[in-house]
């Protein structure tokens, strides 16, 4: 990890996203992977189900088969959606905080 952090301080050394992610400690990755709220988690569930198609598991035994490329696209879509939702959630909290501060 120290070697990775030292290379980050040198702007002449290009760092790829893969290198960056591999340099993160397990606790940081775990914290980044958790949704910030139950509401965001529910929205992510709904979004992924809409991408895959949703049939009630009680009535259907659904198996989805895909290749690596399409799975990568699904992951990228989920990541971008999560990023967008996190930004929207932060903006909502900021606007609520500002509204509350004006009331004082």
Q: CB–CB of 33/27 below 8 Å?
A: no
Widest distance between CA atoms in the chain: 57
Give 95 or 11, the one with higher predicted confidence: 95
pLDDT band at 9 (very low <50, low <70, confident <90, very high): low
Instruction: Specify the pLDDT at position 69.
Output: 92
Q: How does pLDDT run across 55-93, given as a tens digit for each residue?
A: 777 888 888 888 999 988 888 888 888 888 888 888 998
Q: What percent of the chain has pLDDT over 90?
A: 10
DSSP 8-state code for residue 58: T
Q: Domain ranges in the chain?
A: 1-34, 37-104
Give the pTM: 0.57
As a whole number of angstroms, the distance between CA 100 and CA 104 comes to 7
């Amino acid at each position: 990890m120290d070697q990775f952090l030292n290379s980050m301080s040198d702007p002449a050394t290009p760092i790829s996203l893969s290198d960056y992610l591999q340099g993160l400690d397990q606790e940081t990755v775990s914290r980044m992977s958790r949704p910030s709220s139950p509401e965001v988690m529910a929205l992510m569930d709904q979004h992924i189900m809409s991408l895959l198609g949703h049939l009630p598991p009680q009535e259907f035994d659904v198996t989805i088969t895909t290749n690596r490329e399409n799975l990568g696209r699904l992951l990228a879509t989920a990541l971008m959606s999560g990023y967008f939702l996190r930004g929207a959630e932060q903006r909502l909290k900021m606007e609520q905080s500002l509204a509350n501060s004006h009331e004082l």
